[in-house]
Structure 1
Amino acid sequence: MAKYQVYLVRHGKTWFNRYDKMQGWSDTPLAPDGVEVAKQAAEALKDVDFSAAFSSDARRAIDTCKIIVDANKDHDKITPVKLPEFREEFYGYFEGNSSRQTWFTVGAMHGCTSYSEVITKYGMDASKDFVKEADPFHDAENAEEYWTRLDKGFDKLDDIAKDGDRILLVSHGTTIRSITDRYNAGNFDITVSPRNSSLTILECDDGEKRVTTYNKLLK
């Protein structure tokens, strides 16, 4: 397998981000200030030699990826591709609900009152299991379902990557935080969410993965 880097960028701020609502597979457009921070990221990354560019299939990620690719010096050589495997976590019944209220409800069953408290006390994977448990329809993804999906996405990257490649991947806050938690090589504090349009770098080497940069503000 090749040794390559994935430049994980969180999408720009959306309307649901603005209103602090659960936004997994549900999707809202980039807000005006979300477009602006995406443009800042594009300016910061314009000289990076990307071999390929991917995004999840959510409009907020697609639009952010296009803004970044259009500003890149090699924009005429890069065609963004959608990878549904890197969608955000699916929150099922709780999609579109208040984030604060959702995590109070989900956490209360385990002695917690916030998302930060849940992941500090039990971990990221447990938080996914707790959401599925609390979902009256049990449609939300648990940790096993979530990682089965993402691992298929990583297999696709491994298949196309060559030694020395830098690959742009625009994804989502909880997904980037989950990847960092699992492959944390820098003792990064994952109780802090990656900011919109921030950069996280994942190094892949012969199947081994490690996050070496997390939540870097691009400006």
Structure 2
Amino acid sequence: MAFTVYLVRHGQTESNLKGQNQGWADTPLTLTGRRTAIETGKHLAHVAFTKAFSSDTGRAQATARLILAQNELTSLKQPIPLVYFREQYYGFFENVPYEQLWAAVLHHEGYRSLDKFLNHHDFNQTKDSFKRADPLSLAEDQYEFWSRLNRGLTYLRDHCQDGDKVLVTSHAETIGCLVQHYRPDLITKREQMPENGAVTKLVFTPNNVEVVYYNHYRTDQTY
């Protein structure tokens, strides 16, 4: 059995525009974010989606609806929302400016430079750093994050059939972690996050997840 997943980061949100960390917090898509999602829908208009899922955040669901609206090959109009594909939970640092988050992490971990920190920490290690720096200790560490995400991967395997073409709209950190896990050569540094509206293509086989491509968003790229 094999099925294909088109994993898409949501369009730009108000928090993205303001430089605020989101996590489980939610803000609506901006006009640019909506336009980006529509453009993504056009990139994927040749795909006859048989199933559609999204993170249960409003921004991910809105992105999925805009993508599906561009597609005449599927009757799907609404994604099924799933908590499993949310962004990482940042606890105390939900919806705060990026600078505040990183200043707290660097101070707690003993780094003066963000570049030096990122050179020594991958996606998983950074999650543990967020947890340690959170004064409430509420942020997800890598174990908590992957426990949730793995339930989502199991859900897809349990609910998809051979040959299915599946849309999943999610978040930058979640997509980056998946790609780093299954194709670490495609992400050599943690800051290489997917763009808003970018598509990552996965093929699920019985024993593996193949990353066909990562972070495609330009018109000159394949989909």
TM (norm. structure 2) is 0.91
The number of equivalent residue pairs is: 218
Equivalent position SS for 2:5:
strand
Check whether the contact 1:197–1:218 (CA below 8 A) recurs between aligned residues: no
Q: Which runs of 5 or more structure 1 residues have no equivalent in the other structure?
A: none
> Match of 1:179, as an amino acid?
L
**Is 1:100 the counterpart of 2:99 in the alignment?**
yes
Q: CA deviation at 1:113?
A: 5.0
> Match of 1:191, as an amino acid?
E
Check whether the contact 1:54–1:83 (CA below 8 A) recurs between aligned residues: yes
Q: What per-residue deviation string (whole Å, max 9, x for no partner) do you get for residues 169-196 of structure 1?
A: 0000111111111111653344311000
Q: CA deviation at 1:73?
A: 1.5
Percent of matched pairs sharing the same residue: 35
Q: CA deviation at 1:90?
A: 0.3
Equivalences for residues 17-166 of structure 1 within 5 A: 17-77=16-76, 79-113=78-112, 117-166=116-165
Change (3 A) 1:169 1:18: same
Where has structure 1 moved over 6 Å in runs of 4 or more? none
Q: What per-residue deviation string (whole Å, max 9, x for no partner) do you get for residues 92-141 of structure 1?
A: 00011111231122023334356664343121111111111111111110
The residue that corresponds to 1:6 in the other structure is 5
Greater displacement, 70-79 / 7-16: 70-79
Check whether the contact 1:186–1:212 (CA below 8 A) recurs between aligned residues: no
The residue that corresponds to 1:191 in the other structure is 191
Q: CA deviation at 1:5?
A: 1.6
The residue that corresponds to 2:216 in the other structure is 216
> Match of 2:26, as an amino acid?
D
> Counterparts of 2:128 and 2:135 in 1: how far apart (Å)?
13
Q: Which runs of 5 or more structure 2 residues have no equivalent in the other structure?
A: none
> Match of 1:82, as an amino acid?
P
> Counterparts of 1:114 and 1:92 in 2: how far apart (Å)?
23
Change (3 A) 1:77 1:134: closer
The residue that corresponds to 1:206 in the other structure is 206
> Counterparts of 1:123 and 1:54 in 2: how far apart (Å)?
27
> Counterparts of 1:27 and 1:144 in 2: how far apart (Å)?
23
Check whether the contact 1:88–1:173 (CA below 8 A) recurs between aligned residues: yes
Q: CA deviation at 1:155?
A: 0.6
Greater displacement, 22-31 / 92-101: 92-101
Equivalent position SS for 1:195:
coil
> Match of 2:82, as an amino acid?
L
> Counterparts of 1:152 and 1:53 in 2: how far apart (Å)?
17
> Match of 1:49, as an amino acid?
A
Change (3 A) 1:115 1:49: farther
> Counterparts of 1:68 and 1:149 in 2: how far apart (Å)?
25
Q: What per-residue deviation string (whole Å, max 9, x for no partner) do you get for residues 142-177 of structure 1?
A: 100000000001111001222222211000011111
Alignment root-mean-square deviation, CA: 1.7
Q: What per-residue deviation string (whole Å, max 9, x for no partner) do you get for residues 37-58 of structure 1?
A: 1110011111202110110000
Check whether the contact 1:25–1:91 (CA below 8 A) recurs between aligned residues: yes
TM (norm. structure 1) is 0.93
Change (3 A) 1:197 1:80: same
